[in-house]
Structure 1
Amino acid sequence: MIRSAGKTVLYKSLKTTLSSLHLKVVPFSVCKTSNNHLLSGNDSPITTSPILPRSFHGSCHPFDEMPQRTLGFFDILNLVELCKVSRNVKNVINVHALAFKAGVLAHLPTSTSLIIAYSRAGHYPSSMAVFDEISCKDVVIWNAMMTCTIEDGQFTDAITFFIQMLQEGIKIDSVTLVITISAFSKLSYLQTVHSFGVKKGLLLDFDLCNALIIAYAKSGDVESSETIFMDSKVKDKNSWNSMITSCLKNHLPEKSLWYLKKMVSCGTQVDNVSLSCAISASNSLLNLHNIGNILHGLGIKLGLDKTRNISVQNALVSFYSKCGDLETAETLFKGIHDKDLVSWNTMIHGFASNGMILEAFDLLSEMQFIKSIEPDTVTILSMLSLCAESMLLREGKIIHGFIIKKLPGFDLLVNNSLMNMYSKCNQMDKAGSLFMSIENKDLVSWNTMIYGYAQNGNSKFAQILFKKLLNQCLECSLSTALAVISSCDSPEFLKFGESLHGWQLKLGFSDNIRTINSLVFMYTNCGDLKASCKLLKSVSKVADTACWNAMIAGSTQNGYFLEAFETFNVMRREAYAKHDSVTLVSVISASGNLESVIPGKVAHGIACKTWFDQDVRVRNVLITMYGRFGDVESAILVFDLYVDRNLCSWNCIISVLSQNKEPKTALRLFKNMEFEPDEITIATILSSCTHLGTLRNGKQIHGYILRSNFHKNNFITAALIDMYSNCGRLDISVIIFRSSPEKTIASWNSMISAYGYHSEGRKAIDLFNEMKKTKIPPTKTTFINLLSACGHSGLVNEGVGYYKCMFDEYGVERTIEHNVCVVDMLGRCGRLSEGFEFIERVGLRNEGVLGAMLSWCNYYGDVEMGKKVSEILFDLEPRNSGYYVCLANAYVGVGSWSDAVKLREFVEDMRLKKPGGYSLVDIGLSVRSIEEPTINLVSEQKVEKNDFIVFYY
């Protein structure tokens, strides 16, 4: 020991020496002498460099010129302790040299501190070298070396050291076992250490018991954690916290809260750790009004919401955010004085997960003005997830730029999230570029790209990528199976889907109910209804609601409407599955496509009985279903019956009114909408203007489109072309079409139809040829419009030529609409016999086709042909008075009055009545004056006069 009188001189000498070493010297009273050698594991190592002793051989140091060695053991030890804090490897080397010259390396506390100092400075090999030089090692120095291996991530070395201690007969203490436990990941090894601790009687130590509790919990063995906890005679605060945390991490929130309750009842003081874990547990239960409020009150009572440790406040913000109470969460967030990064991330994630897009971005912007806090990976992932789910491509690109600028070395997790965002925003080229730039792709990267291609209609790309993944020999997961199976969405992929089914059976994925659901949906989409039914029947006893929904929804989407309803009836007889709102949406949609309204009304009754009619999606599909059957009154009743309507509800009722010849009411509803119209609303209301034929209303809607920047939407462009064409302004239709920057097939079809409507058949043909040069393939609608244009312009030979080549050259199947166009084309030019032969050849027993043919027979006075056609029509629709009147007019045209009188008398005897015709005259009022007094839909306004005068005849 050094005398007190010499301390001042020694301190000055140390100060001079250490100043040359760039070490800060503090008074001895401040220096801590470590006698217990307990080590901290909070410091992460950095990359190593060559080890020490040779680093000072042959070099000149101030120690070489020192006239005498006056330093003692504890003075050197103090210097080593300072090096542990500074973490500068040069300082450690120099102090090591000083210890070597002073001959104090045999002093175990000094050697122990040197081992720790090298490890914290990032020189794990130097720690090993110092450890190997020590001849007489005690348990403390072994513990120190094992701690260094754990800090450096050398878990195998830690286990090796533990085995060496056992072999050399070192008396192991509880600290050794605590360190060893952190190196074990397998449950069997952990049980071995546990048995050793029991044998040596070391489990009386709190730290060892707590370490075992947490280690078992990490392995998923909560039962063993509970056994150790219950066997512990004395439990401290850390023991309770370990148990609460263990249950929470193993998804047992109820048990976690139970242990908190027992902790309070035993009189143990609750701290930030226990309370924040309990709040997280109630987070999982989403029990806002009960447990959550109780815990919040407990925190206020104990003053834990005001401490510098803000984990409780952060947990409360997260809890209220997940419960949807954003107002309380934001109030708590603003009340945190010293917000850390977790506070900001929690609040941003709360806004993002609750769809509050603007608030999330505003908070992110505000966060960047805090100098002490920078957005990290968690922040970025929350915002990218929000951009992906809301399809915010522009904002996602901005975040991508921020990542490149602020996080140039961003990790794989961020890269995968960026790929997901771009794929959700239909930007697969950018997602693909990111994917190719990743050197070490993980399974999530592959799954994200496969799913992205499948969801964006690139099924072949998804399947090719899946095959490449198999060649990479990565172990596929359930997510991989679900991603690739979604690419089989049409009959051409049936064989690939069957091979996927076999692959899933081989790997054991088909035992998962989610996989079965995806397979049922796949077979239905591929048109193999027998296979999907067989698969469903094989699991019908355990099939959940989602499985039945997959079958019903797949049948509805692929046109198997009757099968969908029959499957629903079978489902109702099963005891294991209960229908939900998703089931009813699919069933009602299928009912709307059937010829009978009865199944739809049955489904409506079931929805009312089970209270699923309160779901806005069910109500919207009911409106659409009644509209398809022409039951406008029922559709309006469903719309008016509930207050909580969404934009889709308004779109549905406006579409129903427009399609069922109620365009005036549709325009009035558009004026009284409770939401901002979207593209669907605009396209539908333009259709109403087209049906009315009123240019004034259409122009007003066009003005709104320009102000709202909807004019770039291709479907709206096509609707505008139709509207102006039907209102007699072909010139404006041409201007809109030519000024459209990106023409889709919808725009081309509308323009061809406009030319045909105005008897400009040659221009329609020229436009069709121009469309072919753009490599846009024609569709069924293209040929309907083209044939109609040829018919209205008398271009019969050209029209028949297009009809003959449409399948051979363009692959478009002939439908009944195409046949109607050909019949109308032949009838217009008087080639009635050819038209009738065509009807007989293709088997057209359709009222519309034959009715058109009968009209042309009347027009050209061909009574004999008219008789043939009318005989067929009378069998199809015996109570349609229009056919009798048309044939009677044909008799009058050729002077056969007696036959005409007989037909008229027959019509009167059968009490058949022809509906009266009417004309509309626009008197110039605006859309805002439109009124429908007979239907009470939304808030009414009094108008002094109608905007149309109706003439009946």
Structure 2
Amino acid sequence: MKLKHGIRSIGEAGNHVFNYNRQIIHLGKLGKVEDARRIFSNMTHKNLVTYNSMISVLAKNARISDARQFFDKMSIKNLVSWNSMIAGYLHNDMVEEASELFDAMPERDNFSWALMITCYTRKGKLEKARESLELVPDKLDTACWNAMIAGYAKKGQFNDAEKVFEQMPAKDLVSYNSMLAGYTQNGKMHLALQFFEKMAMRNVVSWNLMVAGYVNSGDLSSAWQLFENIPNPNVVSWVTMLCGFARYGKIVEARELFDRIPRKNLVSWNAMIAAYVQELQIDEAVKLFMKMPHKDRVSWTTLINGYIRVGKLDEAQEVYNQMPCKDIAAKTTLMSGLIQNGRIDEANKMFSQIRARDVICWNNMIAGYSQSGRMDEALNLFRQMPIKNVVSWNTMISGYAQAKQMDRATKIFQAMREKNLVSWNSLISGFLQNYLYSDALKSVVMMGQDGKKPDQSTFACALSACANLAALQLGKQLHEYILKSGYMNDLFVNNALISMYAKCGRVQNAEQVFRDIECVDLISWNSLISGYALNGCANKSFEAFRQMLSEGAIPDEVTFIGILSACSHVGLANEGLVFFKCMIEDFAIEPLAEHYSCLVDLFGRMGRLDEAFNIVREMKVKPNAGLWGSLLWACRVHRNLELGIFAAEKLFELEPDNTSNYITLSNMHAEAGRWKEVERLRMLMREKKAGKQSGCSWIEVQNQIKHFLSHDLAKQRPENIQIILNTLAAHMRDKCNISDMESVYDIL
């Protein structure tokens, strides 16, 4: 009897352990890590499966350091333990750590090798992956070969993928589908179709890959044709086609397909609700949600996201409160909604309540603080993150750039272990935003040295830097590089080229780029109109504006800034007022400070200072520094000291560190003989200059950007200046027949 009782007790204990293990895995899938750990701690009996389950749960919920602690504490480890830990590192993109653990393994199986090959291919280390494949003892195991094929195919190296595929001693369906996925996921649908038709074996996954490939390529007719020919479509087939219709705004066709699905499961219901959310048809999404026989976390989260997207945050919170089982995805979604609505502190309160935060949750909160300019709080969270991915680093770079702290943005960038294209573009864009144009161009060069190829964003930023530096030769070189890189059909790049040539004074080149664009947009027109205005071609600006209207384009605020600027450059006051009135009455555009600034500049240039000042007094928006600067300049030219003092005082409030405003007013006082005021302003100016960065100018000389800093003793070369003066005087004598050169030297 005692023996039977003992056996029964052991059996019961085993059942308890089995059930506890299942609970731990289930809670891990729900993101309830602390609950899983509580069960683990309360277990009187634990086996290897228990420890392995906890390692997997922690790793998949971004608690990789905790997972490693569990692993290290295990007195007995089996192959599953080692593989679980490596898989955890793989899940968190920690290739080096996975590689170190793999090297330390006492023994390996086929799964171990397949994990490492996958790990290397995900990070683009294809040579290392191929070396690992060569070392696999069991050459007949298809998993390792398939991982290698998938790695090559994902990177678009089809020749290498095909060689591995041909060398395989045995092929299975996964092998064929890995090759097919490489073609479809890279948009090579012609090659995909050829391979699909020659496949020795295929299943519903093969058909679904083809349908998804055509959907991603925007070829819905081919996708639909293939879908209708699938012998036995599964729910993935239906949902793939449904999502294809939804992606391209064919919501009616998506609903018709949904209604045809013979056996709707949760995935199909959720896909249709998501389709309505994407089209902002929240009422239809709610109707469908209410009809669902069963709802899961995705259903609730999708509806929450729908309400957030249409700006109904209170309704989103109500749905969240009704959600029976709130997971990290729902909490992160609502948190993002609060951030989008500027309710950062409420978002942080929710963030604090989330126990097991994943990297998406951390990144959303950091982005919220960054976008609000609260960089100290963003940095504090960034430092606390247990695992940072490249998005985390890029968010910090962009945040510091937006906060005009490029020194800190640069330090973050330099501290990154792995930089991607977005990292470089964030840095380059940050330099551009902060007027550090030379640094932006240097970063483009360094990016190439780092082995990263520029994209349309890189080129647009580089061209904008050239435009602001008036670096025509560099701009031309970039144009040639763009031609070779295949980005000449990109509208974003073309618009940047128009601006670059216009700002460098090459209007004809700007016109040619504009003419070569197949389908121009509003930014193209605005770039051309502003380019004409900048170069004093007012009539061409007006002509482009009329042509733009005739082609059905609707102008915006930027269009009229260009038009009013054109009027200002050539002194067309009446025409400027007509365009200003047209903007308000015909196009219902509320004037911005920039529009008023153009009018003030226009009347100021013509000496009509009273009218200019009346515009300032009567405008509905708050005047900016550009507007007061235009008025001050006009007062300087037309010697209106009283109004100039008023404009300057406003500028001192808006731009206390801009010494050029002090210089302008000081010169006005000097002309009026008010020397005490001149001395007072100069004293103020010296105080502002103390501790501030020197003024900087630049010029393009022999294809290089040369900098000139004020008070830079290294650049003061009296003998060189004298040589240049003599050369200029000689040229002037030859060209202008100036006989009295003493007067010329007096001017210089």
- Provide the TM-score with structure 2 as the length reference: 0.70
Contact 1:664 1:931 in 2 (8 A): no
Residue 511 (structure 2) pairs with residue 737 (structure 1): no
2:454 aligned residue: 678
Alignment match of 2:162 (pick from 335, 343, 364): 364
In the alignment, the residues of structure 2 paired with residue 481 and residue 799 of structure 1 have an alpha-carbon distance, to the nearest angstrom, of 57
Seen in structure 2, the aligned counterparts of structure 1 residues 848 and 474 have a Cα distance that, compared at 3 Å, is: farther
Seen in structure 2, the aligned counterparts of structure 1 residues 577 and 724 have a Cα distance that, compared at 3 Å, is: same
2:501 aligned residue: 724
In the alignment, the residues of structure 1 paired with residue 396 and residue 415 of structure 2 have an alpha-carbon distance, to the nearest angstrom, of 12
Write the mapping of 1:657-806 to structure 2, written as runs, cut at 5 A: 657-673=431-447, 674-679=450-455, 680-806=457-583
In structure 1, what residue type is equivalent to 2:424?
A: W
Contact 2:313 2:337 in 1 (8 A): no
Seen in structure 2, the aligned counterparts of structure 1 residues 759 and 890 have a Cα distance that, compared at 3 Å, is: same
Residue 253 (structure 2) pairs with residue 465 (structure 1): yes
In structure 2, what residue type is equivalent to 1:483?
A: A
Seen in structure 2, the aligned counterparts of structure 1 residues 886 and 569 have a Cα distance that, compared at 3 Å, is: same
2:64 aligned residue: none
Seen in structure 2, the aligned counterparts of structure 1 residues 333 and 767 have a Cα distance that, compared at 3 Å, is: farther
In the alignment, the residues of structure 2 paired with residue 836 and residue 326 of structure 1 have an alpha-carbon distance, to the nearest angstrom, of 71
Structure of higher RCO (CA pairs closer than 8 Å, 6+ residues apart): 2
Contact 2:282 2:306 in 1 (8 A): yes
In structure 2, what residue type is equivalent to 1:610?
A: M
Q: Residues 184-212 of structure 1, C-alpha deviation per residue, up to 9 Å, x if partnerless?
A: xxxxxxxxxxxxxxxxxxxxxxxxxxxxx
Seen in structure 2, the aligned counterparts of structure 1 residues 329 and 852 have a Cα distance that, compared at 3 Å, is: same
| Aligned-partner SS, 1:920 | strand
Residue 310 (structure 2) pairs with residue 526 (structure 1): yes
In the alignment, the residues of structure 1 paired with residue 477 and residue 544 of structure 2 have an alpha-carbon distance, to the nearest angstrom, of 29
In the alignment, the residues of structure 2 paired with residue 487 and residue 833 of structure 1 have an alpha-carbon distance, to the nearest angstrom, of 58
Seen in structure 2, the aligned counterparts of structure 1 residues 431 and 779 have a Cα distance that, compared at 3 Å, is: farther
Seen in structure 2, the aligned counterparts of structure 1 residues 532 and 887 have a Cα distance that, compared at 3 Å, is: farther
In structure 2, what residue type is equivalent to 1:750?
A: S
Q: Residues 357-395 of structure 1, C-alpha deviation per residue, up to 9 Å, x if partnerless?
A: 35565233564699x98x886445334434455xx22x2
Seen in structure 2, the aligned counterparts of structure 1 residues 664 and 289 have a Cα distance that, compared at 3 Å, is: closer
Seen in structure 2, the aligned counterparts of structure 1 residues 698 and 497 have a Cα distance that, compared at 3 Å, is: same
Alignment match of 1:548 (pick from 325, 331, 335): 331
In structure 2, what residue type is equivalent to 1:675?
A: G
- Note the C-alpha offset of 1:570: 0.6
Contact 2:192 2:210 in 1 (8 A): no
- Note the C-alpha offset of 1:758: 0.7
Contact 1:694 1:922 in 2 (8 A): yes
In the alignment, the residues of structure 1 paired with residue 338 and residue 451 of structure 2 have an alpha-carbon distance, to the nearest angstrom, of 33
- Note the C-alpha offset of 1:728: 2.3
Contact 2:460 2:492 in 1 (8 A): yes
Q: Residues 386-414 of structure 1, C-alpha deviation per residue, up to 9 Å, x if partnerless?
A: 4455xx22x2331123324668x977644
In structure 2, what residue type is equivalent to 1:724?
A: Y
1:619 aligned residue: 393
1:352 aligned residue: 150
Alignment match of 2:701 (pick from 923, 932, 945): 923
- Note the C-alpha offset of 1:431: 3.8
- Note the C-alpha offset of 1:890: 5.0
Contact 1:286 1:323 in 2 (8 A): no
In structure 1, what residue type is equivalent to 2:312?
A: D
Q: Residues 276-316 of structure 1, C-alpha deviation per residue, up to 9 Å, x if partnerless?
A: xx9999977856899999999598xxxxxxxxxxxxx6x67
Residue 266 (structure 2) pairs with residue 478 (structure 1): yes
- Note the C-alpha offset of 1:604: 0.7
Residue 236 (structure 2) pairs with residue 444 (structure 1): yes
In structure 2, what residue type is equivalent to 1:531?
A: E
In the alignment, the residues of structure 1 paired with residue 369 and residue 469 of structure 2 have an alpha-carbon distance, to the nearest angstrom, of 30
Alignment match of 1:506 (pick from 262, 268, 291): 291
Residue 418 (structure 2) pairs with residue 644 (structure 1): yes
- Note the C-alpha offset of 1:630: 1.6
1:11 aligned residue: none
In the alignment, the residues of structure 2 paired with residue 449 and residue 789 of structure 1 have an alpha-carbon distance, to the nearest angstrom, of 52
Alignment match of 2:133 (pick from 324, 327, 330): 330
Write the mapping of 1:171-210 to structure 2, written as runs, cut at 5 A: none
In the alignment, the residues of structure 2 paired with residue 406 and residue 466 of structure 1 have an alpha-carbon distance, to the nearest angstrom, of 30
Identity of aligned residues (%): 25
In the alignment, the residues of structure 2 paired with residue 427 and residue 814 of structure 1 have an alpha-carbon distance, to the nearest angstrom, of 43
1:401 aligned residue: 194
In structure 2, what residue type is equivalent to 1:523?
A: Y
| Aligned-partner SS, 2:698 | strand
Q: Residues 540-583 of structure 1, C-alpha deviation per residue, up to 9 Å, x if partnerless?
A: x9533332332344455x5x3x32x3244212431x43444323
Seen in structure 2, the aligned counterparts of structure 1 residues 398 and 387 have a Cα distance that, compared at 3 Å, is: closer
Q: Which has the larger radius of gyration?
A: 1
Contact 2:467 2:500 in 1 (8 A): yes
Structure (1/2) with the larger helix percentage: 2
| Aligned-partner SS, 1:570 | helix
The alignment covers a number of residue pairs equal to 623
In the alignment, the residues of structure 2 paired with residue 334 and residue 396 of structure 1 have an alpha-carbon distance, to the nearest angstrom, of 36
In the alignment, the residues of structure 2 paired with residue 740 and residue 431 of structure 1 have an alpha-carbon distance, to the nearest angstrom, of 31
Contact 1:316 1:329 in 2 (8 A): no
In the alignment, the residues of structure 1 paired with residue 272 and residue 486 of structure 2 have an alpha-carbon distance, to the nearest angstrom, of 38
Contact 1:513 1:547 in 2 (8 A): yes
- Note the C-alpha offset of 1:489: 6.4
- Note the C-alpha offset of 1:453: 4.8
1:308 aligned residue: none
2:90 aligned residue: none
Alignment match of 1:571 (pick from 336, 350, 360): 350
- Note the C-alpha offset of 1:808: 6.5
| Aligned-partner SS, 2:623 | coil
In the alignment, the residues of structure 2 paired with residue 285 and residue 789 of structure 1 have an alpha-carbon distance, to the nearest angstrom, of 66
| Aligned-partner SS, 2:628 | helix
- Provide the TM-score with structure 1 as the length reference: 0.56
Contact 1:668 1:931 in 2 (8 A): no
| Aligned-partner SS, 2:418 | coil
In the alignment, the residues of structure 2 paired with residue 295 and residue 638 of structure 1 have an alpha-carbon distance, to the nearest angstrom, of 35
Seen in structure 2, the aligned counterparts of structure 1 residues 838 and 591 have a Cα distance that, compared at 3 Å, is: farther
In the alignment, the residues of structure 2 paired with residue 385 and residue 621 of structure 1 have an alpha-carbon distance, to the nearest angstrom, of 32
2:630 aligned residue: 852
In the alignment, the residues of structure 2 paired with residue 910 and residue 925 of structure 1 have an alpha-carbon distance, to the nearest angstrom, of 35
Give unpaired runs (5+ residues) of structure 2.
1-17, 20-46, 54-77, 88-97, 121-127, 710-716, 725-747
Residue 385 (structure 2) pairs with residue 610 (structure 1): yes
In the alignment, the residues of structure 2 paired with residue 617 and residue 632 of structure 1 have an alpha-carbon distance, to the nearest angstrom, of 18
Contact 1:329 1:347 in 2 (8 A): no
In the alignment, the residues of structure 1 paired with residue 235 and residue 252 of structure 2 have an alpha-carbon distance, to the nearest angstrom, of 16
In structure 2, what residue type is equivalent to 1:403?
A: F
In the alignment, the residues of structure 1 paired with residue 609 and residue 667 of structure 2 have an alpha-carbon distance, to the nearest angstrom, of 17
In the alignment, the residues of structure 2 paired with residue 810 and residue 609 of structure 1 have an alpha-carbon distance, to the nearest angstrom, of 50
Contact 2:270 2:299 in 1 (8 A): yes
| Aligned-partner SS, 2:619 | helix
In structure 1, what residue type is equivalent to 2:638?
A: Y
- Note the C-alpha offset of 1:770: 3.2
- Note the C-alpha offset of 1:843: 3.0
Q: Residues 83-105 of structure 1, C-alpha deviation per residue, up to 9 Å, x if partnerless?
A: xxxxxxxxxxxxxxxxxxxxxxx
| Aligned-partner SS, 1:842 | coil
